[in-house]
Amino acid sequence: MASKLTTDFFNRDPKIVAKELLGKAIVRKLGKTKLKGKITETEAYYDGNDPASWARFNGKYKKIMEMEAGTILVKMVHNNWLFNIVTSKKGDASAVLIRAIEPLNFNARGKGPGILTKELKINKEQNNKNITTNKEIWIEDNLDNIEIEKSFRIGVKRDLSQKLRFFIKGNKNVSRI
DNA sequence: AGGAAGATCTACT
DNA sequence: GTAGATCTTCCTA
């Protein structure tokens, strides 16, 4: 039975949240339509220790990341929206990035990370909202049996030598391997 | 107003 | 696998 995730779920270490988020269903309500996608790839981000984390910019993003667990953080980079959920307790500036989903009940035009935000129509509007209380987007439990794999960052260009990337083994929706 | 930075994508070899 | 392109946002002066 599908149950909606609450603040307690996100109020933990980002790497735990990232791991357990895999296989869960993200639900986006657009008017009468309800889009569901299975989360297939996530990454955990910490504060200043993480060279790629937005928190190191000491600005607006860090402020949001220090907010309550479950806060949605959206940023446009490279013409793609990146969808993050703040984790851990207030003041920790940590978050989980959802990189890819697998469409469950709709057709995606594109593939890869783009579908997450383009097809689900995620944009600035969702920024700073709370995913546990929002009525248009939330995450619910999914009973799929999945195999979780973890790895280092994709590619070699950016150096983020931490094993904080999680994805579903063998899933074709994962951007790159 | 200008400059800098970025977690990507696409194409080609 | 590697390189480059292109875009949006944020910070500082």
Given a cut of 80, whether residue A38 has pLDDT beyond it is: yes
Q: Identify which has the larger pLDDT, A8 or A167.
A: A8
CA A97, CA A95: separation in Å to the nearest integer? 7
pTM above 0.85, yes or no: yes
pLDDT average, residue stretch A84-97: 91
Query: pLDDT by residue (tens digit) across A47-69?
Result: 767 777 787 765 788 889 989 99
Measure the CA angle with vertex A166, ends A160 and A167; round to 5°: 130
pLDDT band of residue A154 (cuts 50, 70, 90) is low
pLDDT tens figures, A13-29: 999 999 999 999 999 99
With CA of A96 and C1' of each nucleotide, the nearest comes out as B7
Q: Enumerate residues near strand B (beta carbon within 7 A).
A: A 43, 45, 51-54, 61, 75, 77-78, 80, 82, 84, 95, 97, 99, 110, 112-114, 154-155, 157-158, 160, 175-176
Pairing relationship of beta strands A165-168 and A80-87 according to DSSP bridges? unpaired
